[in-house]
Each structure stands twice: as C-alpha cells, then as structure tokens.
Amino acid sequence: MDRDGRVARGAGDACDRPRGRASFRAVRRRHARAGRRGRVTGAALAFDSVACLRGGRLLFEGLNFGLGPGDAALVIGPNGVGKSSLLRLAAGLLAPAAGTIRREGRLSLADENSALDRHVTLARAIGFWVGLDGGEVCDVARGLAAMDLLHLSEVPVRMLSTGQRKRATLARVIAGNAPLWLLDEPANGLDTASLERLEAAMVAHRQSGGIVLAASHQPLGLIGAQTLALTAA
Ligand SMILES: Nc1ncnc2c1ncn2[C@@H]1O[C@H](COP(=O)(O)OP(=O)(O)OP(=O)(O)O)[C@@H](O)[C@H]1O
C-alpha cells in the first residue's frame, strides 16, 4: 500500500514491507496510552499484508493498516473493487487469501442486511441484539434516540421505510456498544439530518475510544481518518 493508502495489486506487485505486525504493536502501545488516560479501551484492528480473493479473482493484496482506540478509516473505490469484501474480512466473515487479520474487542457490522427481525417492533428487534451483548433497555433507547427513531419504537420493522430501516440498522450498532464499528455504505438512503446524526454518533464513538471502519462512496465527515483507496485490477 502506498502512502496515500492505495493498495498494490497483481501478481508480483511489490507490497509495502509487511508493516502489519509493527503497526499492530504500535496500535497496542497507543491503546495502552489511551487506557492510562482513562478512555475506553479494548479494541484494535490490524491487517498485515492481506489479500482477498473472491470467485477466483484477486481483489486486492498487500493491504496493511492498523486502527486503535479513537481511530477511523474510510474505504473508497469504484463498484466491485472489494470494499464490502474488506469489511467482511474485518468482521471475520471471510478468510484472507494471504496475510493476517488481528482483532481485539467486540465488533458490530452494519451492511445492506439490517439483521433485524421484520415481524417484531423496532425496539424489540434491536433489544434482541443488545440482549445478546449483555446490554440493557436503556442502550436500546440510546441507540434509537441517536438516530431519531424513538417515536417508531413500537412499529414493526417491516413497516419502516428504506431510510428508516437504514437508521434502525445504525441504531442497532450504536445500542450494541461494541468498540469496533464496521459500516458498509452507512450513508445510503439517509436524509441530510440523519447523515448529521450518523456523523455525530461516529464522533462520540471515537471520542469514547471506539473504532470506525467504513466503506462509502460519499464523504462521511470522519475527521483524521485513514483513507484506504482500493483500485480496480
Ligand atoms: N459471494 C461472492 N462470491 C464470489 N464473488 C463475489 C461474491 N460477492 C461479491 N463478489 C465479487 O467480489 C467483487 C467485490 O465485491 P464487493 O461487494 O466487495 O465490492 P464493493 O467495492 O463493495 O462494490 P460496491 O461499490 O458496488 O458496493 C465483485 O466483483 C463481486 O462480484
């Protein structure tokens, strides 16, 4: 990966010297410093010379980055280049074709699948996930409030509009309290006010020591984020 975050491609491409291990150690050092400052700790994500193969096609290789408490990275690139695949690797839903991925801390993935039961109320659907993570009713309310959905708490998920469902998915992530947020196109379908709410939620999450890894075709206001620019093979 070059200094602008572009990922080397193709057989025989010279990847950066494998910096992943070193960067993971650096992440952990920062993590320890953050702990001494009394911030939320327990999360880190590092890719070390990671390659991704899907359907027999090499999407990217030599990907190195490290994220610790308060960090964010934005994955960008054209359709089909592998942004969602990168997030699925980070979530452990895909195995890397080469390299290693290290994760510390719980994660929450928001993608096009809301993972919410369509046949129960919004509060109940989010409560299911929050309960699995040992959270409480107040966490559900906090997530719903963050995405301005409290007034729809008792509406069945199947009756929500596209944008409301997207906000519900984000509310699930916020309510879940996982330190590592993996957000795939989180701004899709959001109106301006909802996008501002998402940005505020990401700022608050990072300020409390959380990590955001997002893939997006739109700017997300992630100040100070690393850019991981995937390019077509
Ligand atoms: N289950 C699968 N099996 C095989 N190939 C897949 C599978 N899912 C996705 N792909 C392929 O992997 C490539 C990358 O897909 P991915 O969804 O990661 O791209 P993306 O950069 O997120 O695209 P977009 O901007 O359109 O969301 C595409 O060529 C796609 O066809």
ipTM of the complex: 0.97
Q: Which of 82, 116, 109 lies closest to 184, judged by CA? A: 109
Contact between 61 and 98 under an 8 Å Cβ cutoff? The reply is: yes
Pocket of ligand 1 (CB under 6 A): 54-55, 59, 77, 79-85
186-193: average pLDDT: 96
What are the C-alpha distances in Å from 104 to residues 31, 99, 180? Answer: 11, 17, 9
Q: Whose CA is nearest to atom 29 of ligand 1?
A: 80
Pocket test for ligand 1, best of 50, 81, 183 (most atoms within 8 A of CB): 81
Q: Which domains does the chain have, with CATH numbers?
A: 110-215 (3.40.50.300)
| pLDDT higher than 70, residue 231 | yes
Tell me, in angstroms, the distance from the centre of ligand 1 to residue 217's CA: 15
Q: Who's near 192: CB < 8 A, 6+ residues apart? A: none
Residue with tokens 């999407």: 59
Which band of pLDDT confidence, cut at 50, 70 and 90, is reported for residue 134? confident
- DSSP structure class, residue 109: E
pLDDT exceeds cutoff 50 at 37: no
- pTM metric for this prediction: 0.84
**Residue 2 pLDDT more than 60?**
no
Distance 82 CA to ligand 1 centre (A): 6
Atom 25 of ligand 1, nearest CA residue: 79
Q: Looking at residues 132-147, what average pLDDT do you find?
A: 88
Mean pLDDT for the stretch of residues 103-125: 93
User: Whole-angstrom Cα distance, residue 229 to residue 22?
Assistant: 21
Confidence of residue 113 (pLDDT cuts 50, 70, 90): confident
Q: Under a CB-based contact definition with an 8 Å cutoff, are residues 48 and 1 in contact?
A: no
Tell me how far CA of residue 39 lies from CA of 198, 208, 212, in angstroms. Answer: 21, 6, 16
The residues near 37 (Cβ < 8 Å, ≥ 6 apart) are none
Across 20-24, 55-59, 83-87, 213-217, least confident range: 20-24
Q: For residue range 42-98, what is the model confidence (pLDDT) as tens digits? A: 789 999 999 999 999 999 999 999 999 999 999 999 999 999 999 999 999 999 999
3-state secondary structure of 14: coil
192 phi and psi, to 5 degrees? -60, -45
Spell out where 32-140 has E strands. 44-54, 57-67, 72-76, 98-104, 107-110
SS3 (DSSP) at 64: strand
pLDDT tier, 21 (very low <50, low <70, confident <90, very high otherwise): very low
Residue owning the nearest CA to atom 24 of ligand 1: 79
Question: Among candidates 52, 219, 221, 204, which has minimal Cα distance to 143?
Answer: 204
pLDDT at 133: 77
